[in-house]
Structure 1
Amino acid sequence: MLQPKKTKFRRSQKGRMKGNAQRGNRLSFGSFGIKTLQAKWITGQQIEAARIAVTRCMQRQGQVWVRIFPDKPITKKPAEVRMGKGKGSPEGFVVPVTPGRILFEVEGVVFDVAKEALRLAAQKLPVTTKFIVRHDYDFNILK
């Protein structure tokens, strides 16, 4: 499960996710990727499940980059506890994503394999995504 080694504060406020992604919204490493079309929280377990789906579909060929990391602590109060008495204890970590944020990038496989692998990854995530291709990608290579 993805989580930071150390955090400055154990608990954080919920915050707001308005607008589109201002950074992490372009392909930086691979030729293919998926970007989110919604604003949501994605947990470390969901990221790991998607990463495993991609690597299995690609049969460990090529390379995968995970462009997001869950560093926001989420708290939860125990069941059947009355209101008040402070904030709950830390439960896990999430990453808030906004529309346009690149989640995964893939390189070193043909177009069809990359599209299928990232489609399987998108099914594991709680956001709607879009498959994107680098603008200078040559579709005639690796055939």
Structure 2
Amino acid sequence: MWPSLWPSLPRVQLGGIRFRSQLAPRQIQNVKRHKGRIPIPTGGSTRGTTLAFGDWGIRIKGMGVRFTAKQLMTAEEVIKRNIKVVKGAKVYLRVFPDIPVCIKGNETRMGKGKGTFEFWATRVPTGRVIFEIGGTPIREELAREALRQAADKLPTTFEFITRQSLPRLGSMVVQPSSCPVSTTSTATAVHPS
């Protein structure tokens, strides 16, 4: 009964025991995927550019980049080590590495298929929040230092943000409109006849 309800696409179960220290999806459709490009925010959406869970955070200020699971885990460990003095403090990771990266060896002839799976990665555009700190009140100096050390482990430039930080649209900070928007239109259309 249950298999008839599932989609007919093959699912790949990643072998072995999944440890808590690993950042990897539990189930994927294809082990080998196209390389893809870093997304460029052009549509006007500011989703994911402000804090959602914590009080302090970092977001990408430089160019969009591809983070590996190992880089994200290293940065998260640095933050946890710095804020462990505050009881109840939490770290929120806002991106997840779900893209498999396959690599062929150096000086290999062309053909004979795609390379073997190497690591998990995620593509993150400019302006996205990567880490947040919250859970309990944390001093700004402590949060700033912990997030600065985590940003040093990652391959792009970041900015420290708070709850009052404005959203970003790519590399541009979105300012709130100064004039109130009225619901009724004051202009009337005039058609020449």
Q: TM-score, normalised by structure 1?
A: 0.88
Aligned-residue offset at 1:66: 0.7
Report the equivalent of 1:15.
36
| SS of the residue 1:75 aligns to | strand
Q: Does 1:99 align with 2:120?
A: no
SS at match of 1:127: coil
What is residue 141 of structure 1 aligned with on the other side? Answer: none
Worse overlay, 77-86 or 25-34: 77-86
Q: Based on CA coordinates, which of the two structures has the bigger radius of gyration?
A: 2
**Residues 38 and 66 of structure 2 are in contact (CA less than 8 Å); yes or no, is this contact kept in structure 1?**
no
- Write the mapping of 1:1-143 to structure 2, written as runs, cut at 5 A: 1-20=22-41, 22-37=46-61, 38-61=63-86, 62-107=89-134, 108=136, 109-135=138-164
Alpha-carbon shift at residue 60 of structure 1 (Å): 5.0
- State the aligned residue count: 136
Cα RMSD between the aligned structures?
A: 1.6
Unaligned runs of 5+ in 2: 1-21, 166-193
The percent of aligned pairs where both chains have the same amino acid is: 38
- Residue 22 to residue 3, structure 1, CA distance change in 2 (3 Å): farther
Cα deviation digits, residues 57-104 of structure 1 (max 9, x gap):
112521110111100010011233211211111111101000011000
Q: Which amino acid in structure 2 is aligned with residue 121 of structure 1?
A: A
- Rounded to whole Å, the distance in 1 between the matches of 2:34 and 2:108 is 20
Q: Distance in 2 between matches of 1:53 and 1:94?
A: 19
What is the TM-score with the length of structure 2 in the denominator?
Answer: 0.66
Work out which structure has the larger RCO, using CA pairs closer than 8 Å and 6 or more positions apart in sequence: 1
